[in-house]
Amino acid sequence: MDSFSMVAATGCYQFKINHSKTKDMGIGKWITSPKFRVGRHEWAIKYFPQGNEKDNNGKYVSIFLELQRESVDVRATFEFALLDKHGTLPSIAMKETSHTFTPRELDWGFSNFFERTKLEEMYVHNFNFVLHVKITVKDESYTRACCNASSIGFPHEHLQKFREENKHTDVSFDVDGKIFVAHRLILAAHSPVFEAELFGSMAESNRDCITISEMMPSVFNN
C-alpha cells in the first residue's frame, strides 16, 4: 500500500568547530560539516571563520545552511545558535530565517552572524565551540507497507553499540536548551510512553526534534 502526505519534518544538528585551527583561514574561506539528514533531504553547514564577504573586514563569522544536490525546490525554516560552555542555547547568539532552496541556490544563511571577538570571549571553550542548527522542512512524505518489521531480528550487542556511540540517531530532545540524540526504536522498546509519542497518533510522532519541558537535563539523561 502506497500513500503520500505533506508533513513538516524537524531535526537538530550540532557542529563542533576547532576555533584555533580555523580562525585565521582568511575571508571567503570556509569549512563544511559532515552531511546530516532532516526529512528526506541531506544538509550541511558552511562556516566562514572570517566571513564570506570582504566588506565586513573579518569582523563577523558567516554561517550558511546548504542543501545537498537536489533537483527540486525545498522550503525550510532554520535557526542557528551558539551553545554556551554549559551546552545550552542563549538567545543573544541565535538567528532564524526561512528560505526556498533551489537547484541554482542551494545555500542560505547569515553573512554577519556573530562578531568574532565576542565568539572568542563567550563561546570558545578548550579551543572549540559548538554550532547548533534546527531545521523544519515541509515536504512530501512517501510511505510503502512492504513487510512485517517484527519478523526481522537485531543482535542486542549491535543495538547497544549504536546507542553508546550515537550512531544512526533519528530523533533529538531539547531539554531546557540542552540537546540529546536517540533512536526511536530503542526508546519505544523500553517505554510504552515513548512508543505512543514516537509512533502513535500523538503530535510528536511526526517530529524529529522534541521539546521536553519542566525537567532538568541531568534528570532526563539518567
Per-residue pLDDT tens digits for 2-60: 444 456 789 999 999 999 999 999 999 999 999 999 988 999 999 999 999 998 899 99
The CATH architecture one would assign to domain 2-143 is Sandwich (2.60)
Name the segment(s) of the chain with CATH classification 2.60.210.10. 2-143
> What is the CATH number assigned to the segment(s) 154-221?
3.30.710.10
Question: Looking at per-residue confidence, does 18 or 199 come out higher?
Answer: 18
Angle among Cα 66, 71, 73 to the nearest 5 degrees reads: 70
Confidence at 146, pLDDT banded by 50, 70, 90: very low
The strand pair at 41-48 and 60-67 is best described as: antiparallel
User: Rounded to an integer, what is the distance from CA 156 to the centroid of its chain?
Assistant: 28
Least confident of 53-62, 148-157, 186-195: 148-157
What band does 139 get if pLDDT is binned at 50, 70 and 90?
A: low
β-pairing, 31-32 with 41-48?
A: antiparallel
Residues carrying CATH 3.30.710.10, the chain: 154-221
Question: CA-CA distance, 120 to 23, in Å (whole number)?
Answer: 10
pTM of the shown model: 0.62
Cell 530523533 belongs to which residue?
171
In the predicted structure, residue 116 carries a pLDDT above the cut 50 = yes
pLDDT at 89: 81
Query: What confidence score (pLDDT) does residue 8 get?
Result: 77
Query: Between residues 171 and 75, which one has the greater pLDDT?
Result: 75
